Amino acid sequence: MTTPVAPIEDDRNARVAFQGAPGAFSHEACVALRPWDEAVPFETFAEALGAVRTGDCDMALIPIENSTIGAVEPAATLVREAGFETLADVWRPIRHCLMAIDGARMADIRTIESHPIALDQCRETLSHINAKIVVAFDTAGAARDVAEAGDRSRAALAPMAAAEVYGLSILRHDLQDSADNRTRFVLLACKKG
């Protein structure tokens, strides 16, 4: 189900908070839903919601549910407790890629880094790859860290956009366990009045 993206008073050039680094699934969703706005990254869901509360950002786009794992926590609880107005509610397909620095091969990979929710969505597939799982704060943040390290033994599980943003090569596409892996995002703003 998708509800339309509701206008805010100044519908152009708003600041939309999201959790993660540039290239994260939430960043992709911001660009897809409101390409005219400035997407502003925050390390945590609480910080993204807090930016709306303080007025630093006009809205926040937060994932609250995934078709594979259920509620996206702690985001779902934080959204419920925030008491914000929901401007839009949209399901988006989530496709995970395994990426590493140029020249790396699957045989080189010793660690796979990503956000715990992304790792949960790929649990079965990852169990067939002989690599240590490393939890990171964000999918795109993991991709950034892998790129900066320049180590062929490290890979990130992240969206395709993260490979483009951080100059990584994709080793494998579609690592999600479910072919119909989708995440529900809500666009939130402070209630008027």
pLDDT per position as a tens digit, 28-76: 999 999 999 999 999 999 999 999 999 999 999 999 999 999 999 999 9
- The helix (H) or strand (E) run that includes residue 140 is helix 139-149
Range of the domain at 144: 97-172
The pTM score is 0.86
Contact 186, 86 (CB under 8 A): yes
Domain co-membership, 184 together with 149: no
Question: Is 183 a catalytic site residue?
Answer: yes
Specify whether the CB–CB gap between 97 and 172 falls below 8 A. yes
Residue pointed to by tokens 């702690």: 74
CATH label of the domain that carries residue 120? 3.40.190.10
* Average pLDDT taken over every residue of the chain: 92
The string of pLDDT tens digits covering residues 87-129 is: 999 999 999 999 999 999 999 999 999 999 999 999 999 999 9
Verify whether residue 25 is a known catalytic residue: no
SS (H, E, C) 14-77: CEEEEECCCCCHHHHHHHHHCCCCEEEEECCHHHHHHHHHHCCCCEEEEEEEECCCEECCCHHH
Q: Does 29 lie in the same domain as 85?
A: yes
Query: Quick check: is 133 in a domain?
Result: yes
Q: What does the pLDDT look like over 158-193, one tens digit per residue? A: 999 999 999 999 999 999 999 999 999 999 999 876
**Does 1 fall in a domain?**
no
